[in-house]
């Protein structure tokens, strides 16, 4: 049984405010921080959704269709590197420095992309954006640990999940309207104008708090870690490219897998890839669940469009329902209605059930409505699981290791997501477009997460943090 470090609990529990105030992320003590956090996460999410919509126009205007995929891979590569660096930086110097540098980098990348005269400059801007976003993401996790009492962590991470819902619903539509009726550059310029006020609000909310104090050991070998992060990012990009090139891409796919086998263990926690009990299981567990959900989301709209004749808009509604389910699942867990093991194991099981039900829609006699219900189920599952892992990682981390451990989980999630999409896509291609086989692979990933859940957390009462590390 894991017993939380008393010093860490003392650090994250405020004793000079009333219990009622501690239980509200919107109370006067936390309001500015909460709004700033929510705004930053929302803007990063919106930018990601908007770019996906605007990229065809960007590539056309800048004459860079040959660099289309690189515009996405560059951001992924940069974010993996920045996440590793930002995690240890946050542990050593507190979260505000990496947040500040991350916001500056994100804005600089937005402006570089917005003013880009060529596709090469645009890709460079996307790389700088990825560096900024990676620093911000992991630093915000550490900021949560150092600002809010542990009892509020589930509600804060539920807010993080909710911050992705609005961009998922309106981001593509807004980006499409701006790109077609004004100029795609305004997508980047507009977000850059809003990010700075959001960051200022966050800094205002942290004024007077000592967030820099740390007992973390000096970061030995951080240069090697960043190097391994770069290798991991290259490996993920190779897999992404290889899966899109059909048979010709098989060598790239295999090369990416080999590089990942060498580099990824250097970035995760010791024992992660063998699912050692307790904290080391977190990166793999969440990576499998997230990878399952993400890979399924890539295939399902195609399946509904080409196998059941839905329009692109009708097929896209399925993803919106999944996003709403994610938000609802996070809200339910944030309210303390279910225990941690139920949220994690049950959440992974719901992803498996939801994707299985969607697959049944391949049968013409099955009503299309089943797909919408199924994605709501899968969304509820990932929504309950995702923030619960984040909360438990903070609670299980010793003081000064919150950033390192959160970075490992973020890297695991990103890499497993890319691998899941690449392998499911390769299966789809190798089987001449067999959706059932490709989706069955994503179901298998979720079922592995179901099996691993008890290795990470014991059963506990709703809202508790009863964990296992033995």
Q: What is the domain partition of the chain in residue ranges?
A: 24-213, 221-267, 271-470
Instruction: Quickly state the pLDDT bin for 23 (edges 50, 70, 90).
Output: low
Most confident of 47-51, 384-388, 418-422: 384-388
- Calculate what percentage of the chain has a pLDDT beyond 70: 86
How many C-beta atoms lie closer than 10 Å to residue 216's C-beta? 18
pLDDT, average across residues 178-189: 84
Helix 340-359 vs helix 369-396: crossing angle, to nearest 10 = 150
In this predicted model, what pLDDT tens digit does every residue of 231-271 receive, in sequence order?
A: 888 888 788 777 766 677 788 888 988 998 899 898 899 99
Instruction: Quickly state the pLDDT bin for 69 (edges 50, 70, 90).
Output: low
- In sequence order, what are the residues at sequence separation of 6 or more whose Cβ sits closer than 8 angstroms to the Cβ of residue 359? 435, 436, 439, 440, 443
Q: Same topology for domains 24-213 and 271-470, yes or no?
A: yes
Predicted confidence (pLDDT) at residue 293 exceeds the cutoff of 80: yes
pLDDT, average across residues 175-190: 83
CATH number assigned to the domain with residue range 24-213, chosen from the 4 options 2.40.110.10, 2.60.40.2700, 2.102.10.10, 1.20.1250.20: 1.20.1250.20
In this predicted model, what pLDDT tens digit does every residue of 376-387 receive, in sequence order?
A: 999 999 999 998
**What is the distance between the alpha carbons of residues 232 and 252, in angstroms, rounded to a whole number?**
14
pLDDT, average across residues 13-22: 43
Instruction: Quickly state the pLDDT bin for 32 (edges 50, 70, 90).
Output: confident
pLDDT, average across residues 89-101: 84
Per CATH, domain 271-470 is 1.10.3720.10 = no
């Amino acid at each position: 049984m894991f017993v939380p470090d008393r010093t860490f609990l003392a650090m994250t529990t405020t004793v000079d405010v009333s219990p009622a105030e501690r239980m509200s992320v919107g109370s006067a003590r936390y309001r500015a921080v909460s709004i700033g956090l929510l705004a930053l996460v929302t803007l990063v999410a919106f930018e990601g959704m908007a770019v996906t919509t605007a990229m065809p126009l960007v590539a056309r205007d800048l004459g860079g269709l040959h660099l289309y995929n690189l515009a996405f891979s560059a951001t992924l590569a940069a974010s993996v590197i920045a996440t590793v660096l930002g995690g240890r930086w946050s542990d050593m110097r507190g979260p505000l420095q990496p947040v500040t540098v991350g916001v500056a980098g994100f804005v600089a990348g937005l402006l570089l992309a917005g003013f880009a005269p060529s596709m090469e400059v645009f890709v460079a801007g996307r790389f700088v954006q990825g560096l900024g976003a990676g620093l911000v993401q992991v630093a915000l996790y550490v900021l949560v640990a150092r600002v809010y009492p542990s009892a509020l962590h589930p509600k804060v991470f539920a807010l993080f999940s909710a911050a992705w819902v609005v961009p998922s619903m309106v981001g593509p539509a807004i980006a499409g309207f701006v790109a077609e009726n004004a100029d795609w550059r305004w997508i980047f310029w507009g977000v850059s104008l809003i990010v700075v006020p959001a960051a200022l609000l966050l800094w205002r909310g942290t004024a007077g708090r000592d967030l820099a104090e740390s007992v973390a050991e000096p970061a030995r070998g951080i240069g090697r870690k960043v190097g391994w992060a770069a290798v991991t990012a290259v490996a993920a990009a190779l897999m992404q490219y290889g899966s899109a090139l059909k048979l010709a891409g098989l060598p790239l796919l295999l090369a990416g897998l080999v590089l990942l086998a060498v580099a990824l263990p250097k970035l995760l926690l010791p024992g992660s890839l063998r699912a050692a009990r307790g904290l080391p299981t977190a990166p793999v567990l969440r990576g499998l669940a997230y990878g399952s959900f993400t890979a399924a989301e890539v295939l399902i709209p195609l399946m509904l469009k080409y196998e059941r004749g839905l329009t692109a808009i009708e097929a896209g509604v399925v993803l919106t329902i999944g996003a709403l389910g994610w938000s609802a699942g996070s809200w339910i867990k944030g309210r303390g209605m279910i225990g941690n093991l139920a949220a994690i194991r049950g959440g992974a099981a719901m992803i498996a059930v939801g994707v299985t039900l969607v697959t049944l829609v391949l049968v013409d006699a099955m009503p299309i409505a089943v797909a919408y219900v199924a994605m709501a189920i899968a969304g509820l599952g990932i929504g309950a699981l995702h923030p619960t892992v984040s909360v438990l990682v903070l609670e299980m981390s010793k003081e000064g290791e919150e950033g390192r451990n959160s970075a490992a989980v973020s890297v695991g999630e990103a890499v497993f997501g890319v691998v899941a999409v690449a392998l499911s896509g390769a299966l789809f291609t190798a089987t001449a477009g067999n959706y059932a086989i490709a989706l069955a692979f994503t179901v298998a990933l979720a079922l592995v997460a179901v099996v691993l859940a008890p290795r990470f957390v014991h059963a506990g009462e709703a809202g508790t943090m009863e964990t296992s590390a033995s």
